[in-house]
């Protein structure tokens, strides 16, 4: 069972998504979708993923809401920098942030969050030292960004993935 279906929940989600996208419940799409769901599970096992060990669903919802608000807010902020006249006054630069997060899935999600909020870019992560290098468009106070990444996102990602 575990060899055939290493990640039952993910496989089930894959099958449901396949059926939804193909908009039918006949035999053909179910067979093809099951095949893809099985193969998805095997692929994840090949990648030695620990994706199934996600806990704390309330933190996921909390984080999703937070990210949605931040995406909208930073879109407005970057838009006003581009359209506004003060664009030559902004200083942008690199910020080094020491992270406690080591889970690969958690880091991948953090990369998506940081890039999806305009104004911050993920540049580099050194696994040995755990230092994340960011590029920030409107860099006023470096410690504020360290506080923001660690307090807003990393704390919740640690709850979810570790």
Partner 1 sequence: MTHAAELPAWAAWCVALLLLLGAGITLIGSLGMLRLDGFYQRAHAPTLGTTLGTAFICGASMLCFSLLASRPLLHEVLILGFVTITTPVTLMLLVRAALFRDTAEGHIDDIVRRAKQTPGDEELR
User: Which lies closer to partner 1 via its Cβ, residue 96 or residue 162?
Assistant: 96
User: Which lies closer to partner 1 via its Cβ, residue 39 or residue 123?
Assistant: 123
Smallest distance, partner 1 to C-beta of residue 134, A: 10
User: Which lies closer to partner 1 via its Cβ, residue 4 or residue 129?
Assistant: 129
Smallest distance, partner 1 to C-beta of residue 151, A: 21
Smallest distance, partner 1 to C-beta of residue 94, A: 4
What 44-51 contacts at long range (C-beta under 8 Å, 24+ apart), as own/partner pairs, is 44/6, 44/7, 44/10, 45/6, 45/7, 49/7, 49/105, 50/103, 50/105, 51/7, 51/10, 51/105
∠123-160-142 over CA atoms, to 5°?
A: 35
Residues that bind partner 1 (CB under 8 A): 20-21, 23, 71-72, 75, 78-79, 82-83, 87-88, 90-96, 111-112, 114-124, 135, 137, 139
């Amino acid at each position: 069972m575990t060899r055939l279906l290493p990640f039952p929940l993910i496989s089930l989600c894959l099958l449901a998504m396949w059926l939804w996208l193909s908009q039918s419940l006949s035999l053909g799409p179910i067979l093809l979708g099951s095949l893809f769901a099985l193969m998805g599970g095997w692929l994840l096992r090949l990648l030695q993923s620990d994706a199934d060990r996600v806990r704390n669903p309330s933190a996921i919802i909390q984080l999703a809401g937070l990210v949605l608000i931040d995406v909208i807010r930073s879109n407005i902020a970057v838009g006003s920098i581009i359209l506004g006249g003060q664009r030559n006054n902004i200083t942008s630069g690199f910020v080094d942030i020491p992270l406690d997060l080591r889970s690969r899935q958690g880091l991948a999600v953090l990369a998506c969050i940081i890039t999806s909020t305009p104004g911050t870019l993920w540049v580099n992560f050194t696994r040995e030292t755990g230092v994340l290098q960011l590029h920030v468009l409107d860099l006023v106070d470096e410690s504020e960004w360290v506080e923001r990444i660690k307090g807003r996102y990393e704390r919740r990602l640690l709850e979810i993935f570790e």
